[in-house]
Every structure is written in C-alpha cells, then in structure tokens.
Structure 1
Amino acid sequence: MDNRKEVREFLISRRAKISPKQAGLPAGSNRRVPGLRRSEVAALADVSIEYYSKLERGALAGVSAGVLDAVARALRLDEAERAHLFDLARAADGTSAIVRPRRRAKSRQWTPHRSLQWALDAVTEGPAFVRNGRMDLLAANRLAQAFYAPVYASPQQPPNIARFQFLDPASHEFYPDWDMFADVCVAILRTEAGRNPYDKELHDLIGELSTRSDEFRTRWGAHDVRHHGTGSKTFHHPVVGDVTLSYEGLEMAAEPGLTLTIYAAEPGSPSEEALRLLSSWAASQEPGTRQLSG
C-alpha cells in the first residue's frame, strides 16, 4: 500500500501548526508559509533539508525509529500524533524494525464470545459496550443499548457511531456539543486509518462519509488524531434528557483492535438518577420494540 499522500499531508499539516516562536526560532520576515519552513524542521530534527524534504514527500520506507523520534520532537507531536507517525512508517515499510504486529480488522460478522457478553451484562449501573476502530458498536449491555437507542435505530448493521454522527440529523440533538463530538469522531477514525491501513471496511466508511458529509470531509482534511481513553461527555438522551457521564476506554488484550468502554455518572448526581430512569425504561421494553419516547 502506497501511503505517501497520507504521510505528506500529515507532516505538512503538523508543520503548519508550529510557529517559529513555539519552536524557539526567530520569526524573521517575508514568511510565505504558515508555521515552520522545511529547513527549520530539518535543523530542529538534526537532518539535512534534502532528507527531510524526502520524508515530507511521503518516503518513510526504511526510516529509523531515531529519525522518526527526532521529527516528532521537532514538530512537537503529542503522544497520539507521534504514534500515528510511527504507524504511517509501519505501513510504508513492512520489513522495518519499527513494525508492530498488524491489528486484525474485525469484520461485520464478528460476534462476542459468551464470556464477553456476560462481563458486559455484569455492569448494571452504567452503559458498557465494545467498539472497533471504525466506531461500529459490536456488543453492549442492556443499558448501553438503551443509551445508544438513536444509533441502534439505524437500519444499517452493525450500528455505527460515525455514520450516526454525520449522516443522521438526530445526532445534533443527542450531542449538545456537536462540533466537539464530530472532531473526536474523525480523529478516532484518522488514528485507526494510520494503525490499520488495510481495513477495506474502514476505507469504505471514510469514502461514504466524505461523499455525503461536508462536515466530515472538512475535518478529515485536518489530519488530526487522538487517543480516546478517559474523560467526560454530556449527551441529550431522547428519553431522560441531559446526562453527563465519565468514561473509561480499555484496549482488549484478547481482541486486538477492540475497545471496551464503560460510562458512569457521578454518585448522587442528576445524571445518576437519569441512568436509573433509563435502566427502568429499558427493562420495560420488549427486545426490538424500544421507542424513543417516554
């Protein structure tokens, strides 16, 4: 797979974000590019301008981990961006010493083993679910199915959070801070594309969203990546209203490429009470007949 375009656009986008002042360099005059010049990045990384220019043209095959580290420091890449750069190098060079084992792409036919579903069902106080890097919801406890009822309402299976985010008008109500959620969603997909460049279903999803959503296409072009492990989010659920939840995302050792996420409300908060109401509502519904009204 030739990923030169991806490498080129990623490095150019990161270079454009670093000002000379941030890099401890004089700004000078007559700067014709946003951010740093190639020559400045090369000097900061202690490589020749010719060599760095070659890298920025997308030629990462055979590049050592030491050089990648130097470029990452010069561009002030955060942890997620640095990992993405190494993943791009892995895709460019299948025999490089920096290669990590390729993550298995979970197909649409993947189903959870029984013990995983038992573990999810044992979580009763908050939504718990498993997703892949394409944002497919692959397994969930009852509360997560109720919580993501607007996503599960999609006729396309498996339910996909990214498709819901950008193609379903209901997402604008479900996500009060829609722009923030959209940024995070695209950054997760961009990170997955770097980690798993051979996933045809991921490429198909990106193509679909790029064709059908201007909002997605603009964000995809920004080349932002991120790790999404912990934090808090506010949702507006159609049954119980506003809910603020903390989350923890755990990489699954037995299933590389999958993430187990658990949401929890602050004890004693209105959001905790909202989850209790949602749980009661979910228990009152027959499987497959949930309606998005109280």
Structure 2
Amino acid sequence: MATINLRSEIKEFLSSRRARITPEQAGLPVYGGNRRVKGLRREEAALLAGVSVDYYVRMERGSLAGTSDGVLDAVAAALHLDEAERDHLFQLARQSRTPTGPRRRPAVTVRPALQQVLAAITDAPAWICNGRYDVLATNHLARALYSPMLTDPRRPANTARFVYLEPEAAGTFFVDYDRVASDVAAKLRMEAGRNPHDEELIALVGELSTRSDLFRQRWASQDVRLHRSGRKRVHHPAVGRLDLDVESMDLPADPGLLLNVYTAPTGTTSADGLALLASWAASQEKAATEPQALS
C-alpha cells in the first residue's frame, strides 16, 4: 500500500521549522559570529522545549510515537509554530502512535441533502471539496465561476491540478496566483499529515511533483495552512475582475469535506459582477439545452 513516510515527514518538518528561527528570535544569547547551522541548534531547541538533547534528537529523527501532548506543546512553543503548524505536528504524532489503526478514507461523494443545500444557495458560488482539492459538488454559480478550471474533462475536477498543471490558465484566472499556489501546496501538506495513507493523495502529490517544478519547490518548503476564511480575487473571462470573500467550513457529519461559499458586499463592483455571472450562467445553460437548428 502506498503511504507517506511519517518519519521523513516529521524529520523534515521539525528541522525546517528549527532552521528558520535565530537565537535572537528565541531570546538566547549568541557567542561568537560563526554558526555552522542555519537557525537554532538541536541543543538550543531542546533547551527551549525543556527536554534532553537526546530526546529532542530522537523526535527530530522522526520518532513521535511516545511523545506526550505536553512535550509537543513545549516543542511547538520553542519553534514558534503557528496554529496550522502546531496542528500539523499533533497530527503527525497521532499518526505515529497508531500506525496500524483504522484508516479514514476521505469522502468521494456528496450526500443528496448536501446537494440540496448547494442548490438552495442561489446568489453565491458554493461548492464542496475534500482535502485533496477534488471538486465533488457545485451549485450553478460555482460552475460558472470556475468554468476555466472545469474545461478539463477529468472528473472529479481538481483545483491543485489546475493551479500547477495549467499555470498559464490558472495565472490568468487567479489574480494572486503565487499566493494561491503556495496555499494549495501548504493545504495538501496539511492533508498529508492527517491522512498519510490516502493513496489518491499520494498519487496526486506524485503527479504534481513529476510534472511541476513550482510544486516541487512549494512542497519542499514544508509549509502548512488551514482552510480558513479569506479573500479570493479572480478574473473571470466573461465578467471580469471579482474580489470575493470566502468562507470555508468543515462539515462535521461528513469528515474531510469542506463547504466553500463566495460572497461580495452589497453595492460593490464585485456584487454587480456576481449578478452578471448569474445572468451569464443562465444564458450558457439555456444555450446548452436548446435544440440545435437544422441546416
């Protein structure tokens, strides 16, 4: 069975976080100007976390199976981990503790009741994805908004493939393409910590790594991100620039699925653009259902 090497994940994540912190940032005295390591030394990280050097070294070599939550909290504080990084560290530890436990398979279908919820959202693009960025269900406005991505006949459509394997189209569509690319890789890394035995995720990461230099660079950074609220700026080929507020919500009854809803404040240019998008979507659907004229 394909799986992500947890020991390597832990080692690379902890060493990369340690390397970015200087002794000055950690509040440690610095003696002399020549340091052979970037960032903190292992013994300095151990001191800050309140554990022995041998214990910290074992952790950074990928052994988290016996590590308590208290020690993990101390390491997170010592390495100045943010919320997403702390969550990622704890997920890696949980996976290390239960290497032969039951595997959660991310959902690949959407319940009819959730399909009805999407259909009931008529004034905002709304769609459901999983942690691999598979687009599993959309309402009519989301299909219209993401029409450039949905031209690829492969199903389920996948945002990560669009961003990294169609960079010209994605770069035109996403105003903040560089940030979007970083976020997509970071959220896939987060999902890998939660689900290291997901064979489809492993295959996706392998495909992107093989075909995209940019993805390899972003993946190697070890950065992680949480799915959260934010701003998405896109340039739609039919209606132009849209600056949209994004709410990304976990669905507790369907673990692993996220509901994403895009809105714009009333009276803004982007709100007018969403109304225009709805009209464009209706015209596209009407054209698709009308019988072709006989020649």
What is aligned with 2:68?
64
Q: Which structure features the higher share of helix residues?
A: 2
| 2:160 matched residue in structure 1 | 162
Stretches of structure 1 that go unaligned for 5 or more consecutive residues are none
Deviation at 1:27, TM superposition (A): 2.9
CA contact (8 A) 2:107 2:254 kept: no
Q: Secondary structure, in 3 states, of the residue corresponding to 1:36?
A: coil
Deviation of the 1:286 alpha carbon: 2.8
SS of structure 1 residue aligned to 2:225: coil
Residue 106 of structure 2 aligns with which residue?
105
Q: Give how far 1:75 is off.
A: 0.4
Q: How far apart are 1:113 and its partner, in Å?
A: 2.0
Please report how far the alpha carbon of residue 289 of structure 1 lies from its aligned counterpart in structure 2 after TM superposition. Answer: 4.7
Contact 2:103/2:197, CA 8 A, preserved across alignment: no
Which residue pairs with 1:136 in the alignment? 134
SS at match of 2:227: coil
Inter-CA distance 287–165: structure 2 relative to 1 (3 Å threshold): farther
Q: How does 1:1-294 map onto structure 2 within 5 Å?
A: 2-28=5-31, 29-94=33-98, 103-107=104-108, 110=109, 112-168=110-166, 169-286=168-285, 289=288
RMSD value, Cα: 1.8
Amino acid at match of 1:50: D
TM-score by length of 1: 0.93
Unaligned regions of 5+ residues in structure 2, if any?
290-295
> How many residue pairs were aligned?
284
Inter-partner Cα distance in structure 2 for 1:17 and 1:264: 37
Give the CA deviation at 1:24.
0.5
Distance 1:146 1:45, change over 3 A: same
Q: Which letter maps to 2:106?
A: A
In structure 2, distance between residues paired with 1:231 and 1:142: 22
Contact 2:189 2:219 in 1 (8 A): yes
Could you tell me how far apart the structure 1 residues matched to 2:184 and 2:286 are? 29
Deviation at 1:174, TM superposition (A): 0.4
TM-score between both structures, scaled by the size of structure 2:
0.92
Q: Partners in 1 of 2:105 and 2:263 — Cα distance?
A: 29
Contact 2:107–2:255 at 8 Å: present in 1 too? no
Q: Which moved more, 1:201-210 or 1:28-37?
A: 28-37
Give the deviation of 1:92 after TM superposition. 1.2
Offset, 1:229: 1.2
Identity of aligned residues (%): 54
Tell me: CA distance 1:288–1:227, structure 2 relative to 1, closer, same or farther (3 Å): farther
Bigger mean CA offset, 232-241 vs 130-139: 232-241
Q: Deviations over 1:264-286 (max 9, x none)?
A: 01110010011101101111123
Residues 1:17 and 1:288: Cα distance change in structure 2 (over 3 Å): farther
| CA–CA distance in structure 2, aligned partners of residues 222 and 103 of structure 1 | 26
TM superposition outliers: structure 1 runs of 4+ over 6 Å: none
Note if contact 1:15-1:35 (Cα within 8 Å) is conserved in structure 2. yes
